[in-house]
Structure 1
């Protein structure tokens, strides 16, 4: 145990400062930090801005530097940010009820689209594994699915209305076009499209009746193989869910229900707002 604890020790290497209000979300650019490409991440804040940070590998200590400040687009808190799988597009969701799409060209970032439709605060944004779909969710209880079209055009292909309260987070499965959403209504919902009709439907709801959470579900994360999911909640617990068939599924038609595996409790004494599975 001592050896394990030593290996797991985290040490601060640098503090990134610049935002003037709370930082709500961070996202690593998935195409950086490999093959000699300096690592890059985005941060978004209550100061209405998004900052792009990049590691300067030309200096011995490899310090992080702010390369860009994306402002003058959102008019309220920027709550969520997510890079597309290609690393070329960054989606940012804001309390101003819009989602902005930024394109990374050279050293510049340009807002190429503003997605409107939600009635109020956008709480989370998420790209599917191919980058062809973007999901957004809001305090208006809805989840919107947008299709990415040529020329940085986006079309809403479905509005999902199953939740009865504020939707806190949306997250696509690591390699299937199956979408998960969690909410103030204490549930996690699983959504997939119908190839025949192009409609999206709720395939499963995880709630107290199947060993789910008893209060707001704030976040979820998948393991790298996509057969396990962890959720966190205002009820002070983490719950791990499993699906033996997840690695074999390709779409909602072959859906196999998720089942509760275990509950981790007694470790936190206040709300658990975020959880992330290591890769």
Structure 2
């Protein structure tokens, strides 16, 4: 829609998406929560028509370690993917209803993408118009995405020039991204036995890996994070337990275990012997959180990389 009411609605929905994203929900679960929110917003007490109905969303999460792209859609067109050296194809996925319809599930679609794949996400205003053939428009989009371009910016310009209607009747948004992958030299993984006596050894292993990466300045905080998260997984979680360090734009420490119980911060009293671990992790790192996995949960903490 258009106008102040629609703008306010989209602001609320965007804030909700950011909040739900921080909880690390899978795409299909995130859309389910967002759909519930829109339903509540649409049933406000004023009885007036509410602009939330008809909003669409495509939510995608890409993991540069596993190279998996997971996404789900609520009334939104499926993205196009261009694998290196291949022709553009539209992702076969089941789009749920627009947000606010309620009562129908959202399905997640997962792809494994080689490094350098191009993913094009767009709104339906790019290819849909009442005076335009839909199949012809999608063919134009496929050809434009497959044409050579020196950069993503140029590719975006080429797509808009070739596909966008001359006088669009709807807003048009286009986002084109290229995937990258983190090789084994930027990821370190250890299997952790459920033995508290082994925690010191994993602190040492993490320190040695940081030294190999030239990140000695991050050793103190990383040792503390590893110690607290691994100890908590051994004490309160379930096997199998894994420790993983990821060197990306930030330094990420992850500890996974087989329990689905989520951690929570609590303020320890003066004479408590425990309860301060997660609070220390939260205070010493830039961000932290947990996410549910198919076999349990993963708790992660992120530090900024030391300046070169």
Decide which structure has the larger Cα Rg and report it.
2
When normalised by structure 1's length, the TM-score is 0.29
Which structure's residues are more often helix, by fraction?
2
Give the number of the structure with larger relative contact order, counting CA–CA contacts within 8 Å between residues 6 or more apart.
2
When normalised by structure 2's length, the TM-score is 0.27
Which structure's residues are more often strand, by fraction?
1
